[in-house]
Amino acid sequence: MYRKLSSGVSCLLVSQALKGLASRLKEIQAYLVAVIDGKLPVNHDILELLQDIFNLLPNMSVESLSKSLAGVCLCVCVCVRAR
């Protein structure tokens, strides 16, 4: 019973985290599109932070990491779909 409850809580947390990430990525996309369209000026501080984020992303060309993350993604997808 407790295992099922903790699994459900974990799935809920993962689901909320992914929704939050998706929201932030949409905000970043909207900002970049506005800069490209000339509606907003380039803010070099924001671009520097975005570059830092991209530099922290894992190297997906490493096969072992790709396989490992694919397994994690499968678990997350199953978890989110179960909700």
**Count of other CB atoms within 10 angstroms of residue 32:** 14
pLDDT tens figures, 16-59: 888 899 999 999 999 999 999 999 999 999 999 999 998 888 77
| Structural domain count of the chain | 1
Helices 63-82 and 2-36, packing angle to 10 deg: 110
pTM of the predicted model, to two decimals? 0.63
Residue entry with tokens 């799935």: 11
- Which residues have C-beta within 8 Å of that of residue 69, sequence separation ≥ 6? 58, 60
Q: The tokens 């990430």 sit on which residue?
A: 21
Look-up: residue for tokens 């909207």? 30
Q: Which domain holds residue 40?
A: 2-82
Q: What is the pLDDT of residue 1?
A: 46
